[in-house]
Chains A and B, each alone.
Chain A
């Protein structure tokens, strides 16, 4: 019985492919985005009892580009997400799995609020902002460097450590808010002091400029600085690093200081630039989303700008669709899920090739290799059928 089974050529086999031309890889990725849009449209049509798909697209884009305010929101949200993504990137390049950006940003934010609470109104706003920045960066660095020291000295697992630090940070914030607002709503209202100045009559512009500058700086740091080189050597192979005389412990701690400092900047931008308040949910999961953004952007600051914008675009657009169609809060999550499932999934087709068994013997036609585009096309066909 087994013999009969194994006498068949396998239906398909998967082989690694190494040298995919760049344009082809991008074509596959582009195909995945298009496929994701179509699948989301179909899903939304199903969920809304067959509301037309055109409405989905219209509202998706309206939600993002409909008013100047929405466009500004897109950039502002992108800026914050990108800033956190930039913060985790050095750690991830060093293969230090820092999943504690959430907590590190929160600590930065907390430091800002502390400054506002105790120095607000006692010094000029500009000076206050400087003090806030210093405190915020210092708090975040402390939060990031604790796991780094433990990792460097005692080789503890940084993933669990940084994750746990998130919850500690949240509890500290909850505790502080309770102290500041002991009764009533328990929500810290909008703070009066420590607002970032407006530029060109608009909020958030400073946020965007700061992050844009950071993107360039981080690119230079990774590509052209000795530190950046050292951290990628440590990430690729600790043995090589030791062999050429890099002090691995020092690099781990130094890199996490940088990572923490950038989280501090993100905390500052969140509190002083946008929210002017603080809650345990201020970061709102962006500390984790940033990891996804950084991986998808292949740790290149410029690519990460695109991936973070893509994420915010989908999230914001889908929220608009959800509110127009009255679909509740989970809908944006469904849509982002579909997007990232397909966008990440398409990497498989970039790295591997699926070869189907040839059917030459039977009908003289061999099936072409299934590749990313094919799947994307296949999905297109499916959705067209549904439309028809």
Chain B
């Protein structure tokens, strides 16, 4: 199949200060193909694509579209060349409907006054031949509009009225966009999107929002679509639907670039894979001629063990018992609905679910950040053997009870750490209250910070560096390190490897496993089902705030969990067994 080149990147480099985001990247995208851009976090995938879509401007190098060199300075320029990008974090206006969002920012084709008037003049000056049909003998007369005074007046009047015409044209475009809504529906139907375009964005699920983003790009006439981690927020079923749409688009001759680090999806959907490592382009291979191991090797530069070590839980005890927990949020929506489970010491309990099913609220409620409407949370103290009720207690009160509960929240810089403070001050967050004096003790936190930097191999200039300057993986190491340092008996971690590269992810898995071996009850909220199945002893699945099942991590199948996640199946009787 002879394919023509859609885009070519030559020697593209981008620097952020001293950080090299992309260096001398060459990449070719053909028409009618699906290209995966694969790489660890921080390998420069998104930066590269942002340069294509006009968000960043390359420091060096040249972009060619259809063989011609182009300069892309803004997303609008990118659209001009038929390049559209769907970002990882959707850029939609919540209170607008899907149609309004698609139309937003669309510019009417230029109404060029000068050119129009020149055209009118030319037409008026052109001779028209008047043939007398009744008298064939009569000579052919030539008439110019400019010949008569009335004709000249008409011409000048029309030219004078052109600005008014322009205003009307603009008004029609900006205030009467109904017809364009029809066109959007046609685009949606063509590629097989199932969506109600009149729905407001805030009523939409994540996958619907993504659909709107894709339709927006298609409606603008993009021939090259860039999708940044499109499946990160989707269920397996939704992912399949998305892939079908992507294949439809390929059939239509469009080029699709998918940024991802999920290898199995790369293998499933793409025609070719471009691998980036540390901002440099490693290789581009045909998917059919490669396998997961080879790709991993290219991605990380050396072979990494795909297996996560998992020891059998030892000496299990009920550590945290949650029963009939119900939480209603500000908008009177039940975010947690009768949740019951028990976390054992010495095991990792995974929590699976589509993003926003109540995982975060569950952990926050246990940590004392939310007040549940009903239900109990009781903690069995391993040293005293006493049962402590944690419901309706603040985090400070929970700590005063001697409950050693550690919590790695989802939002690292917004909740777990303070971005502008240095590592030492962030260590202090947990311990600053110690001691009776009104003054801070920075000695111990400094020691702790240095231990964590050394033990977890945090890459940082010094312990005085503000944590926001660190990379995602190192930020997470600092946070997890601090939470582990307090010798917890319960460790809760929400998406601890989100956005981390493979090496940092494994560091985190190992840390969790070490804690488990020490007899800590670990609760792990994750999104990657493969990891959950490989890491956790039991997996609790929640859907829309309800527990739809607790399955054995060693026996569970991905498809089963996927079904539980969407709530299409529920395991009622197993709940009792798993709690035993």
Contact of B71 among A6, A226, A232, A242 (CB under 8 A): A6
A10–B414 touching, CB < 8 Å: no
A15–B416 touching, CB < 8 Å: no
Distance in Å: Cβ of B42 to nearest Cβ of chain A: 16
Considering the complex, give the chain A residue whose CB is closest to the CB of B394.
Answer: A245
Contact of B367 among A3, A243, A246 (CB under 8 A): A243
A18–B17 touching, CB < 8 Å: yes
A229–B432 touching, CB < 8 Å: yes
A243–B407 touching, CB < 8 Å: yes
How far is B429's CA from A203's CA once the two chains are assembled, in angstroms? 46
Contact of B396 among A6, A8, A245 (CB under 8 A): A245
Tell me how many residue pairs across A and B have CB atoms closer than 8 Å: 88
Considering the complex, give the chain A residue whose CB is closest to the CB of B397.
Answer: A245
Given A16-B16, A237-B414, A239-B414, A247 and B80 contact (CB-CB distance below 8 Å): no
A232–B110 touching, CB < 8 Å: no
In the complex, chain A residues whose CB is within 8 Å of the CB of B438: 225-227
In the complex, chain A residues whose CB is within 8 Å of the CB of B414: 237, 239-240
Interface string of B377-409 (1 = CB under 8 A from A): 000000000000000001111110000000101
Considering the complex, give the chain A residue whose CB is closest to the CB of B431.
Answer: A244
Is B57 part of the binding interface, using a Cβ–Cβ cutoff of 8 Å? yes
Interface string of A295-320 (1 = CB under 8 A from B): 00000000000000000000000000
Contact of A9 among B71, B368, B425, B440 (CB under 8 A): B71
B429–A233 touching, CB < 8 Å: yes
In the complex, chain B residues whose CB is within 8 Å of the CB of A236: 418-421
Is A19 part of the binding interface, using a Cβ–Cβ cutoff of 8 Å? yes
Distance in Å: Cβ of B34 to nearest Cβ of chain A: 28
How far is B397's CA from A19's CA once the two chains are assembled, in angstroms? 41
Is B170 part of the binding interface, using a Cβ–Cβ cutoff of 8 Å? no
Considering the complex, give the chain B residue whose CB is closest to the CB of A242.
Answer: B369
How far is B413's CA from A19's CA once the two chains are assembled, in angstroms? 20
Is A123 part of the binding interface, using a Cβ–Cβ cutoff of 8 Å? no
Distance in Å: Cβ of A230 to nearest Cβ of chain B: 8
Is B129 part of the binding interface, using a Cβ–Cβ cutoff of 8 Å? no
Considering residues B418, B428, B430, B438, which has the most beta carbons from chain A within 10 angstroms of its beta carbon?
Answer: B418
Is A224 part of the binding interface, using a Cβ–Cβ cutoff of 8 Å? yes
Interface residues of A in 322-354 (CB under 8 A from B): none
Considering residues A16, A226, A244, which has the most beta carbons from chain B within 10 angstroms of its beta carbon?
Answer: A244
Contact of A226 among B397, B417, B440 (CB under 8 A): B440
B440–A19 touching, CB < 8 Å: no
Is A365 part of the binding interface, using a Cβ–Cβ cutoff of 8 Å? no
Is A2 part of the binding interface, using a Cβ–Cβ cutoff of 8 Å? yes
Distance in Å: Cβ of B310 to nearest Cβ of chain A: 30
How far is B73's CA from A228's CA once the two chains are assembled, in angstroms? 45
Is B469 part of the binding interface, using a Cβ–Cβ cutoff of 8 Å? yes
Distance in Å: Cβ of A328 to nearest Cβ of chain B: 44
How far is B72's CA from A3's CA once the two chains are assembled, in angstroms? 10
Is A122 part of the binding interface, using a Cβ–Cβ cutoff of 8 Å? no
B418–A7 touching, CB < 8 Å: no
Is B283 part of the binding interface, using a Cβ–Cβ cutoff of 8 Å? no
Given A227-B438, A240-B429, A6 and B421 contact (CB-CB distance below 8 Å): no
Is A381 part of the binding interface, using a Cβ–Cβ cutoff of 8 Å? no
How far is B422's CA from A236's CA once the two chains are assembled, in angstroms? 12
In the complex, chain A residues whose CB is within 8 Å of the CB of B72: 6
Is B134 part of the binding interface, using a Cβ–Cβ cutoff of 8 Å? no
Is A117 part of the binding interface, using a Cβ–Cβ cutoff of 8 Å? no
B17–A17 touching, CB < 8 Å: yes
Is B262 part of the binding interface, using a Cβ–Cβ cutoff of 8 Å? no
In the complex, chain A residues whose CB is within 8 Å of the CB of B417: 240
B411–A247 touching, CB < 8 Å: no
Is A1 part of the binding interface, using a Cβ–Cβ cutoff of 8 Å? yes
In the complex, chain A residues whose CB is within 8 Å of the CB of B531: none
B395–A243 touching, CB < 8 Å: yes
How far is B367's CA from A244's CA once the two chains are assembled, in angstroms? 10
Contact of B440 among A13, A224, A243, A246 (CB under 8 A): A224
In the complex, chain A residues whose CB is within 8 Å of the CB of B57: 10, 13
B433–A226 touching, CB < 8 Å: yes
How far is B17's CA from A8's CA once the two chains are assembled, in angstroms? 24
Interface residues of A in 200-246 (CB under 8 A from B): 224-227, 229-230, 232-233, 236-237, 239-240, 242-246
Given A225-B440, A226-B440, A6 and B415 contact (CB-CB distance below 8 Å): no
In the complex, chain B residues whose CB is within 8 Å of the CB of A243: 367, 369, 395, 407, 409, 415-416
In the complex, chain B residues whose CB is within 8 Å of the CB of A237: 413-415, 418-419
Interface string of A233-277 (1 = CB under 8 A from B): 100110110111111000000000000000000000000000000
How far is B57's CA from A226's CA once the two chains are assembled, in angstroms? 45
Considering the complex, give the chain A residue whose CB is closest to the CB of B429.
Answer: A244
How far is B443's CA from A224's CA once the two chains are assembled, in angstroms? 12
B416–A240 touching, CB < 8 Å: yes
How far is B469's CA from A237's CA once the two chains are assembled, in angstroms? 17
Q: Which A residues are closer than 8 A to B by beta carbons? A: 1-3, 6-10, 13, 15-19, 224-227, 229-230, 232-233, 236-237, 239-240, 242-247
List the 3 closest A-B pairs by CB distance, nearest first: A245-B396, A245-B395, A239-B415
New contact pairs (7) apart from A6-B73, A229-B425, CB-CB < 8 Å: A1-B110, A10-B57, A19-B17, A227-B438, A229-B428, A236-B421, A240-B417
Interface pairs (17), CB distance under 8 Å: A6-B70, A6-B71, A7-B71, A10-B73, A16-B16, A17-B17, A18-B17, A226-B433, A226-B438, A229-B425, A229-B432, A229-B440, A232-B421, A237-B413, A242-B395, A243-B395, A243-B415
